[in-house]
């Protein structure tokens, strides 16, 4: 390996995009840059009350250019000539309608302020109705087209979002030439693509969210979609039936983007994938270890050799796809719809008086009030964690259910809601916070139990992301609840580093991604082991959590008049 070979990993998250310039010989992070989406930060094109979360493509494009250029500037322009490849990861499923040239409709003047012409963010749940229809419709076919996505289709995914947008917006429907995942569009953009029909689609996004499967010979047949709703007639002809792994090339950097970035047109652009999938690689995933990328939500990834998985299908997860994480292995995905988001919600509830009343104070000026709000907000979660860790652990006490943004897995249902139980006049902010943390850990245990119950062993846990790095209290509780150790990856940027590993592989610097992982991986800097006494108490509380969840599901079904997945 030439030590002068560098690669760039680009990680698109919910709030920002981050680029990392990495030495391909050893994984050293040479420079990093982050760009917070300005339109998203203003809350534009979103309506939380309707679960509508859309992102403008300009946020993505502007952030791509700014972060890569800043990385190169920080590292020194002499390094630019040694950059060999760029790979990207994104949230998902986050698709967009494009025209025949592959341009997102929101980049056209007539659609620039139309949310339906923008990227439909992963946590957008406006298509709950459409997801329910897909699940019901699939039962009419002899072939179970949902069998490889856990048996339940989610409103967070590709087809439900497409059906919702097409039904809601005739203008978008008439102008759309294709429907494309964010992780597939950025490589198309960087390589200078001009035809939507030539967009290369990664097996990661296609297999886990769009029902593509080797077993079906690709996508479900045209009749599956046309008989669901006539607005989907002809849709399969607008989507490629060929997929690629992230170890393959999407092409080379276009002359336009090479000039923008100050790079060569020889730079390889890798096939894109979802953040958690590349994050699992950046976090040095091992067979049968559940890699947990813990951010606003969690994505839990597991890989296993195909010859060992054989015909085993795990119900209620987000799919199992050959090569979606590591080529040659079955990649399995699960996760929780709210993890860090649950803590952020609680923090915002507690901070309501600060944000809404302090500005009206006649005692302090506006600038002081602003600084005070920022200071107190930054201390809420750390202080709650410190105090919650001091509480005695008892079988009784406050209990929570963590479905504040619905349930992703096991058994997706965005109709479900969170809850607190067992409150009394002695319940306070600290006790409720501990119950909420415990609930998110219990939700994580449900996922592990589902894998084990259905024949896929889980040998241990790998923690990555902001929560894993910043909260020993939450990670120790996770180990106690799971009754298994969890090791925390050293890198703060496992998703971007994973993208860099795939970039190095796509450029041919390593023959396979496992070799890139071994050379470029940064290792682990913490490990939490279960406390036997606490394990026994949490096991009893877990049973109560399960009973509470069953009640919430029954209550939801009676309130909505719809069956929820159980």
Task: Report the DSSP beta bridge partners of residue 34.
Answer: 18
Which letter does DSSP use for residue 393 in this model? P
Q: How far is CA 546 from the centre of its chain?
A: 25
Q: Residue 562 has what pLDDT?
A: 54
pLDDT band at 393 (very low <50, low <70, confident <90, very high): very high
The continuous run of DSSP H or E covering 58 comes out as: helix 57-75
Average pLDDT over residues 340-349: 96
The sign of the dihedral angle between the CA atoms of 409, 411, 417, 419 is negative
β 54-55/119-120 pair status: antiparallel
Q: Residue 295 has what pLDDT?
A: 86
Average pLDDT, whole number, for the chain?
A: 95
Q: How far apart are CA 175 and CA 225, in angstroms?
A: 19
Residue 363 has pLDDT above 70, yes or no: yes
Q: Residue 84 has what pLDDT?
A: 98
Q: Residue 554 has what pLDDT?
A: 93
Closest CA to 318 of 201, 207, 453: 207
pLDDT band at 414 (very low <50, low <70, confident <90, very high): confident
Q: How far apart are CA 167 and CA 225, in angstroms?
A: 14
Residue 563 has pLDDT above 70, yes or no: no
Residue 90 has pLDDT above 90, yes or no: yes
Q: Which domains does the chain have, with CATH numbers?
A: 6-283+491-525 (3.30.420.40), 340-488+531-560 (3.30.420.40)
Residue 1 has pLDDT above 50, yes or no: no
The continuous run of DSSP H or E covering 470 comes out as: helix 466-470
Average pLDDT over residues 145-174: 96
Tens of pLDDT, residue by residue over 524-546, are 999 999 999 999 999 999 999 99
Tell me whether the omega of the peptide bond preceding residue 93 falls within 30 degrees of 0, making it cis. Answer: yes
3-state secondary structure of 296: coil
Residue 1: both structure tokens together: 């390996």
Residue 35 has pLDDT above 60, yes or no: yes
Residue 337 has pLDDT above 80, yes or no: yes
pLDDT band at 566 (very low <50, low <70, confident <90, very high): very low
Q: How far apart are CA 115 and CA 119, in angstroms?
A: 8
Residue 256 has pLDDT above 50, yes or no: yes
Q: Residue 561 has what pLDDT?
A: 61
Average pLDDT over residues 88-94: 96
Which letter does DSSP use for residue 148 in this model? G
Q: Residue 558 has what pLDDT?
A: 81
Which string of DSSP letters, residue by residue, matches 225-267? HHTT-GGGTTGGGGS-S-EE-TTSEEEE--HHHHHHHT--TT-
pLDDT band at 154 (very low <50, low <70, confident <90, very high): very high
Average pLDDT over residues 30-56: 96
Q: Residue 274 has what pLDDT?
A: 97
pLDDT band at 59 (very low <50, low <70, confident <90, very high): very high
Average pLDDT over residues 53-64: 98
pLDDT band at 360 (very low <50, low <70, confident <90, very high): confident
Q: Which of 185-194, 195-204, 276-285, 552-561 has the lowest mean pLDDT?
A: 552-561
Average pLDDT over residues 397-417: 94
Task: Report the DSSP beta bridge partners of residue 244.
Answer: 202
- Residue 550, judged by CB atoms within 10 A of its CB (0-12, 13-18, 19+), counts as exposed
Average pLDDT over residues 367-388: 95
Say which residues have a Cβ less than 8 Å from residue 287's Cβ, sequence separation at least 6: 303, 304, 305, 329
Residue 560 has pLDDT above 80, yes or no: no
Residue 165: both structure tokens together: 């947008």
Tens of pLDDT, residue by residue over 452-492, are 999 999 999 999 988 999 999 999 999 999 999 999 999 98
- Residue 231, judged by CB atoms within 10 A of its CB (0-12, 13-18, 19+), counts as middle
pLDDT band at 74 (very low <50, low <70, confident <90, very high): very high
Say which residues have a Cβ less than 8 Å from residue 362's Cβ, sequence separation at least 6: none
Closest CA to 326 of 251, 247, 209: 247
């Amino acid at each position: 390996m030439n030590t002068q070979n560098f690669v760039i990993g680009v990680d698109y998250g919910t709030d920002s995009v981050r680029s990392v310039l990495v030495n391909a010989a050893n994984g050293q992070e040479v420079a990093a840059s982050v760009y917070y989406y300005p339109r998203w930060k203003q809350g534009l094109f979103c309506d939380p009350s309707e679960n509508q979360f859309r992102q403008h493509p300009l946020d993505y494009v502007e952030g791509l250019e700014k972060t890569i250029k800043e990385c190169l500037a920080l590292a020194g322009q002499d390094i630019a000539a040694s950059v060999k490849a760029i790979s990207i990861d994104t949230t998902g499923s986050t698709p967009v309608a494009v025209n025949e040239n592959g341009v997102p409709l929101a980049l056209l003047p007539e659609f620039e302020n139309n949310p339906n012409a923008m990227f439909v963010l992963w946590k957008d749940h406006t298509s709950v109705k459409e997801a329910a229809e897909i699940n019901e419709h699939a039962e009419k076919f002899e072939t179970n087209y949902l069998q490889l996505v856990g048996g339940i289709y989610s409103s967070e995914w590709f087809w439900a979002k497409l059906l919702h947008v097409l039904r809601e917006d005739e203008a978008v429907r008439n102008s759309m030439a294709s429907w494309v995942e964010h992780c597939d569009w950025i490589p198309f953009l960087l390589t200078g693509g001009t035809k939507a029909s030539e967009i290369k689609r990664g097996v990661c996004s296609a297999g886990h969210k769009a029902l593509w499967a080797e077993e079906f010979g690709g996508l479900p047949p045209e009749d599956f979609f046309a008989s669901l709703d006539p607005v989907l007639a002809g849709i399969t002809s607008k989507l490629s039936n060929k997929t690629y792994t992230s170890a393959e090339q999407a092409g080379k950097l276009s002359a336009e983007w090479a000039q923008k970035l100050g790079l060569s047109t020889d730079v390889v652009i890798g096939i894109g994938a979802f953040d958690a999938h590349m994050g699992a690689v950046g976090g040095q995933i091992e067979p049968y270890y559940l890699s947990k990328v813990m951010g606003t939500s969690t994505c839990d990834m597991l890989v296993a050799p195909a010859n060992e998985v054989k015909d085993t299908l795990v119900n209620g997860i987000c799919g199992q796809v050959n090569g979606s994480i590591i080529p040659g292995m079955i990649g399995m995905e699960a996760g929780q719809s709210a993890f860090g988001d649950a803590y952020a919600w609680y923090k915002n509830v507690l901070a309501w008086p600060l944000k809404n009343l302090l500005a009206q104070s006649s005692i302090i000026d506006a600038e002081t009030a602003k600084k005070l709000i920022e200071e107190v907000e930054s201390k809420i979660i750390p202080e709650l964690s410190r105090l919650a860790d001091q509480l005695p652990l008892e079988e009784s006490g406050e209990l929570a259910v963590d479905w504040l943004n619905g349930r992703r897995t096991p058994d997706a249902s965005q109709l479900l809601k969170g809850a607190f139980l067992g409150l009394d006049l002695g319940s306070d902010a600290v006790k409720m916070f501990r119950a909420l943390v415990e609930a998110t850990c219990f939700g994580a245990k449900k996922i592990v139990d589902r894998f084990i119950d259905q024949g896929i062993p889980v040998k241990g846990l790998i923690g990555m992301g902001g929560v894993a790095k910043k909260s020993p209290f939450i990670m120790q509780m996770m180990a106690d609840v799971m009754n298994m150790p969890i090791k925390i990856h050293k890198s703060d940027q496992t998703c971007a580093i994973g993208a860099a590993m795939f970039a190095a592989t796509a450029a041919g610097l390593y023959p396979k991604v496992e070799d890139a992982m071994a050379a470029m991986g940064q290792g682990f800097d913490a490990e939490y082991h279960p406390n036997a006494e606490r394990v026994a108490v949490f096991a009893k509380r877990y049973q109560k959590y399960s009973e509470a969840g069953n009640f919430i599901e029954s209550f939801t079904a009676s309130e909505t008049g719809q069956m929820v997945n159980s």
